[in-house]
Chain A
Amino acid sequence: MNADLETLQKSNKTELERRGSIFNIGAPATEAVTIRDQIAVGFGDGTVRFFQSGSDPKTVKAHKGVVLSMTNYEDHVLTGGEDGRFLKISSDGNIDEIFNFGSKWVDCVASHKDTKVCSSGKTVYIWTKNKDKPKTLEHQSTVAGLAFDNKGKRLAVSRYGGVTVWKLNNNKWTASNFTWKGSHGTVTFSPDTKYIVTAMQENQIHGWRINDKADLAMRGYPSKIKSFTWVGDTPYLVTSGSSDAVCWPFDGKEGPMGRKPIVVANGGKELATFVKALNGEKAVFTGFTDGSVLLAEIDESKKPIMIRSSTGAEVSTIAISSDNSQILIGDMKGSILLSSLWADN
């Protein structure tokens, strides 16, 4: 195996670092989402900052304590905090408090069109258009992940022991349970909505084919999987948690069952901590424990490109602007790189 990262690291600063801007915020970057030509980043000091090429970031003092979760919602971001607040924030700094849970954390947030969702403890709260009072969905243990399918008809809720998939029919939510022993964290639907996949407390990911609840166990990782992203038309589910970006194929009837993953972007002794698809391409950005980031095609014969060199702090988030022109990389020490992806931009 090539230690791609070690070879590339010898060449100091990368092209993207030379032409981009670096901001030192001083608090861990926890989440990043794209809103039009801006990238909003949540931090461990409770701020949400809106980054845009060519100008200084706009800072919104949103939460007291850590911004735990964030998603985009129309022209706004929704955030959940350690201070128990669920907020809607605009890039000009307007804060709208949707709900205050007091001393309970708001662990997860999600949205689809005009529906706003958050979880606190074992309960999921859903605000639909023009309704002040949320609909609540109860679970047997604390909710650790939320994901809508692409039509917004189904909401996957991960928890201890599996995933509850809620389906909306005639204004009524009905539950279907997908069971697998252990604690399930971040959850995602495959783009064709045939599979759901979770990152587990153990060093593995678990998936179910939705129509027959067939299990898919994807193991062999040396550490916990903190991040995954769907890449390309196949599509591949690319995951962190190993010294490479591990890419599981989800094509055909059986998906990854009985098949080996493709591994790209080798980090040598560093482990991948964050992965992010490059929209419209069969390529993925992979961030590592030392802060470096590689861009790799899902093709084991191709060499990856060094995007960011080592900073000494693990990559905690990566976001790409909606027009694919800008990339933002954030780490656990609060260093942010914002750069154009293409030379003539």
Chain B
Amino acid sequence: MENTSQVPVTVLTGFLGAGKTTLLNRILTEQHGRKYAVIVNEFGEQGIDNDLVVDADEEVFEMNNGCICCTVRGDLIRILSGLMKRADKLDAIIVETTGLADPAPVAQTFFVDQDVADRTKLDAIVTVADAVHLSSQLVDHHEAEEQIAFADVILLNKVELVGDNDIVKVNDRIRKINPFAKIIKTTRCDAPLDEIVGLNAFSLDRVLDIEPDFLESEHDHEHDDDVTSLSFVSDTPLDMDKFQDWFGNLLRTKGQDILRSKGILNFKGEDERYVFQGVHMLMDASPMGPWPKGKDRSSRVVFIGRDLDNMNLKEGFENCKSA
């Protein structure tokens, strides 16, 4: 069940100079009638002076729970717990991460810490990308790839400085890494705030929005460590036990390289749709009501990550089909 008293938290990523501060200033100064707290990094681009701004220092902690890729943002746990003691309720919280930070520990914090999970929920990962420089940043910095890969929404900013052909190219480049993020083209981050905040992108029922059109597998990348996506569709119902064995083992052994995963599953003998979504090794899954009448009951899964070609994903998925 969705807990409506949970405050939504938007994670904002993007390289230095892409326009994160422009967006934060808009969120803090526009008359939107809502109360947003903004958690910024002390080494961020420039100071933003506002009572609703909290300084953080991106302290990544390893959890002592035997899970090797389980890192969380210790400072976020502390700050979110503090903000939840405020007398006035916040409508949303925005967490800025610096250009070089990996968004995974931020996302994992919302899965791992019970107090954080009880009182807040991860709303969406929003990445601001610089339309002029993104292509070269993707070549030089694997963090840029990860920020694109993790995103639910990508603001392709500064489009006014780029010709139409180049916009199409950079758009295609983003799509190869991340087929399901919503791309919004902006000038000075001028997207409506309700397309950035309050999206509920991590809610499991949003997985149902995965567009079948994006599920064309193509992977003509050049290096094995490129971030790519792979997707599979099956009209044959899957065997639940086989799927759980395969998928559980996959996340346990390859979770480091699988940045995000999402899927809708049709299990043999089950009337309901099952949906899941994961960040690295951590996953949330649930039945999500009966299949809509008159529509195909097909299973769809998407993986975004590195080195996906060496995980035998296609074979693994095929083997889950019920006999």
Q: B86, A183: Cβ atoms under 8 Å? A: no
Q: A66, B82: Cβ atoms under 8 Å? A: yes
Q: Which of A23-31, A164-172, A259-267 binds B?
A: A23-31
The residue on B at minimum CB distance from A223 is: B114
CB distance from B83 to the nearest CB of A (A): 8
Proximity bits, B52-91, A CB within 8 Å = 1, else 0: 0111010101111100000010110111001101111000
* Residues from chain B with Cβ under 8 Å of A208 in the complex: none
Q: A183, B74: Cβ atoms under 8 Å? A: yes
In angstroms, Cα B113 to Cα A334, docked, is 24
Q: Which of A4-12, A101-109, A242-250, A291-299 binds B?
A: A101-109
* Residues from chain B with Cβ under 8 Å of A121 in the complex: 57
B315 interface hit (Cβ, 8 Å)? no
Q: Which of A8-54 contact B (CB under 8 A)?
A: 26-28, 30, 43-46
Q: A160, B78: Cβ atoms under 8 Å? A: no
* Residues from chain B with Cβ under 8 Å of A160 in the complex: 59, 61, 74
Q: A103-B55, A182-B64, A224-B114 are in contact. Are A144 and B78 (CB under 8 A)?
A: yes
In angstroms, Cα B182 to Cα A11, docked, is 56
In angstroms, Cα B115 to Cα A228, docked, is 18
Q: Which of B72-112 contact A (CB under 8 A)?
A: 72, 74-75, 77-79, 82-83, 85-88
* Residues from chain B with Cβ under 8 Å of A78 in the complex: none
In angstroms, Cα B79 to Cα A45, docked, is 16
- Total A-B residue contacts, Cβ distance less than 8 Å: 74
Chain B: residues with Cβ within 8 Å of the partner, total of 26
CB distance from A332 to the nearest CB of B (A): 8
Q: How large is the interface on A (under 10, 10 to 19, 20 to 34, 35 or more residues)?
A: 20 to 34
The residue on B at minimum CB distance from A66 is: B85
CB distance from B67 to the nearest CB of A (A): 11
Q: A160-B61, A183-B61 are in contact. Are A65 and B86 (CB under 8 A)?
A: yes
The residue on A at minimum CB distance from B64 is: A182
Q: B114, A201: Cβ atoms under 8 Å? A: no
The residue on A at minimum CB distance from B50 is: A103
* Residues from chain B with Cβ under 8 Å of A182 in the complex: 61-64
CB distance from B285 to the nearest CB of A (A): 22
* Residues from chain A with Cβ under 8 Å of B78 in the complex: 107, 142, 144
- A-B pairs with beta carbons under 8 Å apart, 27 shown: A28-B86, A44-B87, A45-B87, A46-B87, A65-B86, A68-B85, A82-B54, A103-B53, A103-B55, A105-B54, A105-B79, A105-B82, A141-B59, A142-B57, A142-B59, A142-B74, A160-B59, A160-B61, A181-B62, A182-B61, A182-B63, A200-B64, A201-B61, A201-B77, A201-B113, A224-B115, A332-B85
